[in-house]
Amino acid sequence: MTSDSGAGRVEVAAGARLHFGFANLSLAHERLYGAAGVALDEPRVRVEAAPAAGVDCEHGEARGYAAAACDLLGVDGARVRVREPLPRHMGLGSGTQLALATLAAVARAHGRDPEVRARAPDLGRGGRSGVGVAAFERGGVLLDAGHPTERFTAEPPAQGDWTVPPVVARHPVPDDWRFLLVVPDADPGRCGGDEDASIRRVVEAADPAVADRVAGVLQRKLLPAVVDGAVERFGDAVRAVGRLNGTWFADAQGGVYRPPVGDLVAELGDAPAVFGAGQSSWGPTVYGVTDAARADDARDAGRDALDAAGVDGDVAVVRGRNDGAAVTGLDGE
């Protein structure tokens, strides 16, 4: 996280993230979860905060995070405004980025260190995947270590009763890589208690052989492709990780990809400008991997995929992000 501010009115801006999938969901292996993903430069959440006598926030979700942040930091209050939100529950990490941006804004407004990794669990974030927290901290292509499998319980732990999984691999996104985002007009992805229940059912039934295959893709394809700057190999690797994860989630979401994601992924699979496509988290956002030279063609492919699937939606091509959230002082403007 970068900062050029002291105490006073501040703004925190954080980009979205893509979640490619988990390394393991089987109780037969020593570590559970272990998420892979990438930080994006756009879309962004922007949160403004200033010291106040109490909590003043018109955004319902952010107000809860602001109140929790004030309690964690031991400060009287803050005036918080969400100037630009991320789309909620669309597979872009909106909850974690809003929570951490709010925490960081309140902390910096009071001249405090937000300690986002340590405090994220107290905001209900980072319980399974550490990609969102790591994206907020430093950006890049990310792989976290997951949790010891022995800690898995049938019921989710109490809020805050976990630590955010540590990052085991982080590499900068090559400058010329781009990510196609196709966001269909579809129901939001799962969240909260519904997500917890679905994950528990998946974990209890997950085939350990799938985890072995995912591990091979991560170690022998995805990470080497990032280091080599090989965008086509990277796209193929994230497509494979997403498809393998989908075999775990097929019963929970109605297929390897949730509707209408499967149709979009199939269409993008035939597009020469898109090197790999998949579903981010629970969707419905579909991502595609491309590069700067093919960005316009990839954008057209995204629109064509929506048309072929018979759904409306939004299409964008964005850069990866290699920095954490930015903090800007606003006093004196």
pLDDT digits (tens, 9 = 90+) for 164-202: 999 999 999 999 999 999 999 988 755 555 778 889 999
How big is the chain by its Cα radius of gyration, in Å? 19
Take residue 331 and report the two structure tokens written for it.
Answer: 């006093």
| Amino acid 189: pLDDT | 58
* Distance (Å, whole) CA 276 – CA 263: 14
Range of the structural domain that residue 80 is part of: 2-329
Give me the pLDDT at residue 252, please: 87
Question: CB count, 10 Å around CB of 130?
Answer: 30
Q: How far apart are CA 124 and CA 159, in angstroms?
A: 5
Query: Residue 304 belongs to a domain with what CATH number?
Result: 3.30.70.890
Query: CA-CA-CA-CA torsion for 57, 62, 65, 69, nearest 10 degrees?
Result: -50
pLDDT in the model for residue 191: 55
- In the numeric block, the tokens 């209408």 are attached to 260
- Cα–Cα distances (Å) from 255 to 199, 249, 266, 282, in that order, read 15, 7, 13, 12
Mean pLDDT split into 10-residue runs, the chain, 333 residues: 74 98 97 98 98 97 98 98 95 97 98 98 96 98 97 78 96 98 84 75 96 98 98 98 96 91 96 97 96 98 98 98 96 56
The predicted structure's pLDDT at residue 3:
64
Query: What is the token pair recorded at 245?
Result: 């994860």
The neighbouring-strand residues paired with 184 are 313
Query: How far apart, in whole angstroms, are the C-alpha atoms of residue 314 and residue 306?
Result: 9
Residue 333: predicted pLDDT: 46
Q: Which residues of 11-32 are buried (b: 16+ CB within 10 A; e: fewer)?
A: bbbbbbbbbbbbbbbbeebebb
As for how many domains the chain has, the answer is 1
Residue 20 has which token pair?
């490619």
